């Protein structure tokens, strides 16, 4: 089996599991698994389907074995501003409400009432 590093990228419309390793002093990259990512309506909120995404990530890891790959590390990149809360047993306490949910409509205008320098907000948050 080839030892590799996995990069998992969860974007706003799709996700993918990429494997990379060095062979003959060159970086080798392959897409192991790609899957759709769609926001779902849960009550009056627009959310990410965390259970589905986790299942697809696990599927991608399993596909590595079928391709003769053995991950030695895994890195995950997601949306940067969305989150879930977990309890002391690592169970979801909240849904993963998306940054595109209307609950945040008009918030930046409210923020700019208190901080008129947009560059300061970017400097402090990166977004």
Task: For each of the domains in the chain, give its residue range(s) and CATH number, in order of start.
Answer: 2-100 (3.30.420.40)
pTM to 2 decimals?
0.82
Give the pLDDT of the chain (127 residues) as one tens digit per residue. 999 999 999 998 999 999 999 999 999 999 999 999 999 999 999 999 999 999 999 999 999 999 999 999 999 998 878 888 999 999 999 999 998 899 889 988 888 888 878 888 888 877 7
Distance CA 18, CA 7 (A): 5
> What are the distances in angstroms from CA 89 to CA 51, 93, 100?
16, 10, 29
Query: Would you state the structure tokens that stand for residue 60, as one six-digit string?
Result: 């991608």
> What are the distances in angstroms from CA 16 to CA 46, 50, 66, 76, 102?
22, 15, 16, 10, 27
What pLDDT is attached to residue 35?
98
List phi, psi (to 5°) of 103.
Answer: -60, -20
Query: Would you state the structure tokens that stand for residue 96, as one six-digit string?
Result: 């993963």
């Amino acid at each position: 089996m080839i030892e590799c590093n996995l990069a998992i990228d969860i974007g706003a419309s799709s996700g993918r599991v990429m494997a990379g390793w060095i062979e003959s002093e060159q970086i080798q990259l392959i897409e192991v698994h790609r899957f759709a990512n769609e926001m779902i309506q849960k009550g009056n909120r627009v959310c990410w389907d965390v259970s589905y995404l986790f299942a697809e990530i696990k599927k991608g890891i399993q596909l590595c074995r079928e391709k003769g790959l053995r991950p030695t590390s895994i890195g995950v990149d997601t949306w940067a501003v969305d989150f879930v809360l977990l309890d002391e047993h690592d169970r979801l306490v909240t849904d993963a409400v998306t940054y595109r949910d209307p609950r945040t409509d008009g918030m930046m205008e409210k923020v700019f009432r208190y901080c008129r320098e947009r560059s300061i907000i970017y400097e402090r948050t990166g977004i």
